[in-house]
Amino acid sequence: MAVFPRRRLAAVALAAATALLVTAGCGGGDEADGDGPVTLTVDVFGQFGYEQLYQQYMAAHPDVKIVERGTGTNLDEYSPKLTQWLAAGRGAGDVVAIEEGLMVEYKANPGNFVNLLDHGAADLKGNFLEWKWNAGLTADGKQLIGLGTDVGGIAICYRKDLFAKAGLPTERDAVSQLWPTWQDYIATGERFVAAKTGASFLDAATNTFNTILLQTAGNTNGYSYYDTSGNLVVDSNPAVRQAWDTTMDMIDSGLSGKYGSWSEEWVSAFKQSKFATIACPAWMTGVIEGNAGPAAKGKWDIAKVPGNGGNWGGSHLAVPKQSKHQAEAIELAKFLTSSKGQIGAFKAKGPLPSSPQALDDVAITGATNAYFSGAPVGTIFGTGAKSLKPVYMGPKNQAVRTEVENAVRTVELGQRNPEQGWTDAVTNAKKAAAK
Amino acid sequence: MTVQLDARPPVAPAPGSHRQSSGRLSRLDTRLSPYLYIAPFFLLFAVFGAYPLVYTFWVSLHDWDLLGTDHPFVGAENYTQLLADVDFWHAVVNTLGIFVISTVPQLLAALWLANLLNRGLRARTGWRMAVLVPNVTSTAAVAIVFGVLFGREFGMINWLLDLVGLDPIAWKSDRVASWVAISAMVDWRWTGYNALILLAAMQAIPRDLYEAAAIDGANRVRQFWSITVPLLKPTIIFCVIVATIGGLQLFTEPRLFHSGTNPIRGGPLRESQTVTMYMFENAFAPHYNFGYGSAVAWLLFALIAIVAAVNVLVLRRLGGGPGTKKGAAR
């Protein structure tokens, strides 16, 4: 029994130390206003490619110090954390990145953010694609929450070596011609599967489903799960059903490797060359390079997406009201989202600019990606970007999308047949929207 | 601890009026000091335990969007909605299922381990420390490693199954299989800890009881069930209650067992989503419905109280006769 008090003491000490650490951790980004240099915290996720730009900005503004948090984190970890900081009224950075799916939720409570229109942002409108600018505006158009960073023009990334093994063409133009439509993509997939290379044709049905949905919606009525008046239309929007049916055909043809997207198995599957194609928004190129590693350099290439265009993802930079250095933070956000800033980010990590000036710049149009066999990424992703039609996202878009994609996954894994899956998708989506 | 608290300094009678005040002070000291000594715990508990508890209840009575500025009062609506929520009950069944699958073998194994460690082994301390090693590893690391071991395609367990000619098991998308995998994680971590607690209690059992039993002709098995287990009952109750609290709040293991998009669901059909995960899913991403999440937290609290009470009742009944009060209070 003599062990007990000592252990308890140790436990108390440990708990106290933890509590201290936690409180200290929460206190980050909260500094007293002084005359000395201002420290600006920037919160991002994934790969924004801002390192060089910070150096430039700090050189031009000696009174500003920039600290970045979150590069490499998953969006699924980042979004709840940012939301908690906003709800708690402290903890968020001075400049925060907001992904398009989360933006719609934040628009419902714009009071958490500085209205950039009050700080001269209106003059910048021409620096952004019109729909990207509008995506940062509240419904009444009176508050601008965020300035656009990147857009997610879509292509298909594929493995040349696996295509060669299956007796398919490997040159990107020839590959693009294999699949003018999604049905052709499925037919190509069937040929690939028949060749028994030991790899699947695509990574996960959910990724392809979301791509088809956003593309179809963009080309038709311009909305996916919610119509533009905010009604849930998951069961009545033909775009959703069309994307669903096409995806079911893919699953039925056995094209999917069933690697749940973003899971550890998915990452392993990249490394072990377990699938040949993946739906590839511009920002995905950085993800592929990170997951597949240097060993796969030059084995990947990029072809056109079946169907016509489409946009998946992209972010905005916003300044939370809780920031103690709003003026400086707004200046930094303007700099990072300027056409120069966007070109810098593209060069570093590949996110496609949302500024038409940047998209026309030779730095983008002439850009190639060595990892993807020198593919002209600037033209592949950039050409369609200016003609992209935006897809409206409703207030509970993220929760509804989660339900529908999980239903896709249950069919993919053979837990449900397509009809049961569809019923689940609709029922659960309605339930999620009501929460 | 009790012994120290009871050992009060003798109060000397103060004869002169001059010394009366110092006597009163010393009496005050005697009266209040014990409370002051334990105050830090209760202060910390009030700040980090009681206040959040009450506040959570207050939140659960509101329609509380995490980011919203208005939080309209809705009374018991969150609770009525929750009681009719199939996903909530699904999570309750998952939690209880994982709890039973993990705790029963865990305590039996701990008892067996403790019995082994109680014998005259070489390098006894080494063995005793060794069983605690899994407990000091980080839960997150354990969960991630097990998550990889139990992978569908690249996992080692399925590879081993394949070697002996069995079909691979979908550990992450089959309900019972995922319960078993998560239970394995929990047991790996906690069996040694419980074994040490039981061992400590075993060593307090007087040797002469065993000697007397041996003289009466009882073999080792009989001694174990007729002497060791009944005398360990208070400790077993303690272990069961602690395991109940931990088991019903299970979060890290099942959460990190799943990776990829929205792992908080615990699989596409919520195969291994526990109540705490369901609470998190509602209070934070993707629903940000703090009121509803708080209601889940309170029902979980009720659930733990009920299961703990049932456990104690069952255990007392099993041992025959009423359990000692002293043991239950530990």
Residue B20, C-beta contacts closer than 8 angstroms, at least 6 positions apart: B14
> Could you identify the residue written with the tokens 């709800």?
A87
Contact state of A265 with B262 under an 8 Å Cβ cutoff: no
Task: Decide if A221 is inside a domain.
Answer: yes
Range in B3-7, B52-56, B125-129 with the lowest mean pLDDT? B3-7
User: What 3-state DSSP class applies to A46?
Assistant: coil
Residue B144, C-beta contacts closer than 8 angstroms, at least 6 positions apart: A264, B256
**Which pLDDT score is estimated for A36?**
72
| B239 token code pair | 């272990």
Give the integer Cα–Cα distance in Å for B315 and A322. Answer: 54
pLDDT: which is higher, A386 or A406:
A406
Contact state of A106 with B173 under an 8 Å Cβ cutoff: no
A125 plus A232 within the same structural domain: no
A276 plus A175 within the same structural domain: yes
Half-sphere exposure of A5 (CA within 13 A, CB side): 5
Give the integer Cα–Cα distance in Å for A46 and A100. Answer: 14
A214 plus A305 within the same structural domain: yes
Confidence class for position B317, pLDDT limits 50, 70, 90: confident
* Burial degree of A27 (CB within 10 A; 0-12, 13-18, 19+): exposed
Q: Give contacts of A 204-233 with B, CB under 8 A.
A: 206
The number of folded domains in chain A is 2
Mean of the per-residue pLDDT values for chain A? Answer: 89
A136 plus A171 within the same structural domain: no
Phi, psi torsion values for A42, nearest 5 degrees: -115, 125
Task: Decide if A189 is inside a domain.
Answer: yes
A303 plus A258 within the same structural domain: yes
A251 plus A195 within the same structural domain: yes
Q: Is A55 on the interface with B (CB under 8 A)?
A: no
User: What's the domain range around A68?
Assistant: 36-151+314-365
A127 plus A166 within the same structural domain: no
- At A405-433, the pLDDT tens digits run 999 999 999 999 999 999 999 999 999 99
A192 plus A210 within the same structural domain: yes
**Integer angstrom CA distances of residue B31 from B9, B21, B271:** 11, 15, 55
Q: Is A80 on the interface with B (CB under 8 A)?
A: yes
- At A203-231, the pLDDT tens digits run 999 999 999 999 999 999 999 999 988 89
Domains along chain B with CATH numbers: 82-329 (1.10.3720.10)
Per CB-CB distance under 8 Å, the chain B contacts of A5 are 1
Angle at alpha carbon of residue A307, lines to A301 and A312, rounded to 5°? 70
Task: Decide if A21 is inside a domain.
Answer: no
Q: Give contacts of A 307-346 with B, CB under 8 A.
A: none
The CATH number of the domain where A327 resides is what? 3.40.190.10
% of chain B with per-residue pLDDT over 70:
90
For residue A125, is pLDDT > 90? yes
**Which pLDDT score is estimated for B18?**
53
Per CB-CB distance under 8 Å, the chain A contacts of B68 are 108-109
Residue B314, C-beta contacts closer than 8 angstroms, at least 6 positions apart: none
> Which residues are A280's β-sheet partners?
A155
pTM beyond 0.90: the answer is no
| Residue from A76, A21, A16 nearest A45 by CA | A76
**Which pLDDT score is estimated for A46?**
84
| A64 token code pair | 């500003």
> Which residues are A344's β-sheet partners?
none
Task: Decide if A26 is inside a domain.
Answer: no
Ranges A35-44, A63-72, A174-183, A285-294, most confident: A174-183
Residue A23, C-beta contacts closer than 8 angstroms, at least 6 positions apart: none
Give the integer Cα–Cα distance in Å for A96 and A85. Answer: 11
A127 plus A182 within the same structural domain: no
Give the integer Cα–Cα distance in Å for A182 and A358. Answer: 31
Per CB-CB distance under 8 Å, the chain B contacts of A405 are 261
A199 plus A247 within the same structural domain: yes
For residue A240, is pLDDT > 50? yes
Residue B136, C-beta contacts closer than 8 angstroms, at least 6 positions apart: none
Q: Give contacts of A 92-111 with B, CB under 8 A.
A: 105-106, 108-109, 111
Give the integer Cα–Cα distance in Å for A235 and A241. Answer: 7
- At A174-205, the pLDDT tens digits run 999 999 999 999 999 999 999 999 999 999 99
Q: Is A83 on the interface with B (CB under 8 A)?
A: yes
**Which pLDDT score is estimated for B19?**
55
% of chain A with per-residue pLDDT over 70:
92
Task: Decide if A293 is inside a domain.
Answer: yes
What value of ipTM does the predicted structure carry?
0.82
Segment A58-63 long-range contacts (CB within 8 Å, at least 24 positions apart) = A61/A331, A62/A37, A63/A37, A63/A38
Contact state of A1 with B173 under an 8 Å Cβ cutoff: no
pLDDT: which is higher, B300 or A26:
B300
Range in A245-254, B134-143, B158-167 with the lowest mean pLDDT? B134-143
For residue A32, is pLDDT > 70? no
Confidence class for position B20, pLDDT limits 50, 70, 90: low
Task: Decide if A237 is inside a domain.
Answer: yes
Give the integer Cα–Cα distance in Å for A153 and A47. Answer: 16
Confidence class for position B319, pLDDT limits 50, 70, 90: low
Contact state of B288 with A264 under an 8 Å Cβ cutoff: no
Task: Decide if A372 is inside a domain.
Answer: no
Angle at alpha carbon of residue B180, lines to B178 and B181, rounded to 5°? 65
- What amino acid occupies position A416? R
| Residue from A204, A198, A201 nearest A262 by CA | A204
> Could you identify the residue written with the tokens 């003289």?
B215
A297 plus A166 within the same structural domain: yes
Give the integer Cα–Cα distance in Å for B149 and B308. Answer: 32
pLDDT (mean) for B192-205: 94
Sign of CA dihedral A222, A224, A230, A233: positive
pLDDT: which is higher, B70 or B190:
B190
Range in A97-101, A305-309, A367-371, B316-320 with the lowest mean pLDDT? B316-320
Angle at alpha carbon of residue A382, lines to A379 and A385, rounded to 5°? 145
Which segments of chain B does DSSP mark as H helices, in order? Answer: 2-6, 20-45, 51-60, 77-83, 86-117, 124-130, 133-136, 139-149, 156-163, 175-203, 207-215, 220-223, 229-248, 252-257, 275-283, 290-318, 325-329
For residue B9, is pLDDT > 60? no
| Distance (Å) from the alpha carbon of A127 to chain B's nearest alpha carbon | 30
Residue B21, C-beta contacts closer than 8 angstroms, at least 6 positions apart: none
Distance of CA B104 to the CA centre of its chain: 13
Per CB-CB distance under 8 Å, the chain A contacts of B260 are 260-266
Chain B: residue nearest A101 by CA? B286
Per CB-CB distance under 8 Å, the chain B contacts of A3 are 200
Give the integer Cα–Cα distance in Å for A105 and A110. Answer: 9
| Residue from A304, A284, A273, A299 nearest A185 by CA | A304
A256 plus A399 within the same structural domain: yes
Task: Decide if A375 is inside a domain.
Answer: no
Contact state of B284 with A84 under an 8 Å Cβ cutoff: yes
**Which pLDDT score is estimated for B5?**
44
